Amino acid sequence: MSGGRDGSDQREMSARADGLELPSILARLDADDPETQREAVMAVREVVDERPSACTPTVPKLRALLGRSEIDCDEGIVACLAALAADSPTDVAPSTDEIVSFVESTSSSRARTTAFRCLVSIATHQPGAVVDHVDSLVDVLEEGLDEWGLSLVSTLTRTHPQAVTSAVPVLVTALESDPERYGSTACPALGRLVRVEPEAGADDEILEVLVSLVRTGDPPLRADAIDCLGGVAAHEPTAVDAAVPTIARALESDAVEVRVVAARTIARVAAGSGTTVDPAEERLRERLADEEPAVRRNACLALGYSDALEARDRLETLSRTDPNVTVRNCASWAVGEIGASEIDSDRDCNTYLDCGFGSGPRFDPQCRPEPELE
């Protein structure tokens, strides 16, 4: 702060802010003098982190000042709004249009990051206030990746995935450029999007990126990438066929979450493609003895969908002896599926099989139990 006021005036302003003389601060934010307005913004900034609720009345005035070049205090203003949004997003949500406009226009990467953080707070509680701006925000991210910007996209994919599909390319770019930095945010978001737009996930470039992540040593990122491939396989199973050998190796991971999603994804490929998954069969049989019931369950489903004759005896034993009732039911279902294609096609296709997933025609693959993570 400089110009027009001596040090004693500045200290007085800070003291009043500490005492929250709100009428004085509001009046200064409304002043015609940019210097006075800037000092008022900084006074709010000094206390907003500790006493955000007391500063909430400043939101409309801060919004009006955002982007005003003559005040030259955008970083302070957007930092105040971010702190206020974290405390009371509903009070800051009406400022969304102005905050998005600021994100689009600012040349300060630091201020842009803070603005994205503010929008994340709003979107977490009122996603509808932000979702209409997705295309504009994605355009900004395409010019320069931002962790909070990607977090905003990820937040919106949880509630409005169909409205956020334009973000698929920027999420892929993030995974390609720096998976260690962006992977934990971008990969789950991409997984949610390919479930509503599977054709996008079947793109060769996206599949190549995901398969490369499956090979990484980081268990959470491996699990997210495999789960994303599972989302593709649920709708475009043949697109994931070539990735099965890589996913199969993940069945040997020490991380439970990796083994669970690997078995589930292979099950989805087998269920949809109508073919066996030979590269994974031996490892799937080994997973029937996994300590984690969800892994055993998904391995049963994968082997059943794969028509794995060599696994039938082991599955029969599991259907009687496994301590987990869901695993026993899935093993029983798999035994019934293996060899079913050899049965006379005139056999009653309305034979129903209930293994804890609801009933459906046994020979209609569309009605088979969908392998879901427990």
Q: For the structural domain made of 242-340+348-374, what CATH number should be given?
A: 1.25.10.10
Q: How confident is the model at residue 341 (pLDDT cuts 50, 70, 90)?
A: low
Of 91-100, 204-213, 268-277, 340-349, highest mean pLDDT:
91-100
Asked if 1-118 and 242-340+348-374 have one fold, the answer is no
Q: What is the pLDDT of residue 13?
A: 45
Q: Taking the CB of residue 187, how many other CB atoms lie within 10 A of it?
A: 27
pLDDT band for position 349 (50/70/90)?
A: very low
Highest mean pLDDT among 66-70, 161-165, 217-221: 161-165
For residue 19, what pLDDT is reported?
60
Start-to-end CA distance of the chain, whole Å, equals: 57
Q: pTM for the complete prediction? A: 0.82
One-letter identity of residue 158: R
pLDDT tens, position by position, 12-49:
444 454 566 899 999 999 999 999 999 999 999 999 99
Q: How confident is the model at residue 351 (pLDDT cuts 50, 70, 90)?
A: very low
What is the predicted pLDDT for the residue at 275? 62
What is the model's pLDDT at position 365?
Answer: 34
The pLDDT of residue 343 is above 60: no
Helix (H) or strand (E) holding 233: helix 219-233
Q: Choose the CATH number for 1-118 among 1.25.40, 3.30.70, 1.10.20, 1.20.5.
A: 1.25.40
CB-based contacts of 289, cutoff 8 Å, min separation 6: 296
Every domain of the chain and the residues it spans? 1-118, 242-340+348-374
CB neighbourhood size of 366 (10 A): 9
Could you tell me the two tokens for 248?
Answer: 């199969």
Residue 61 has pLDDT above 50, yes or no: yes
Q: Which residue has the higher pLDDT, 142 or 238?
A: 142
Total residue count of the chain as it appears in this document: 374
What does the block give as tokens for 147? Answer: 């962790």
pLDDT at 12: 42
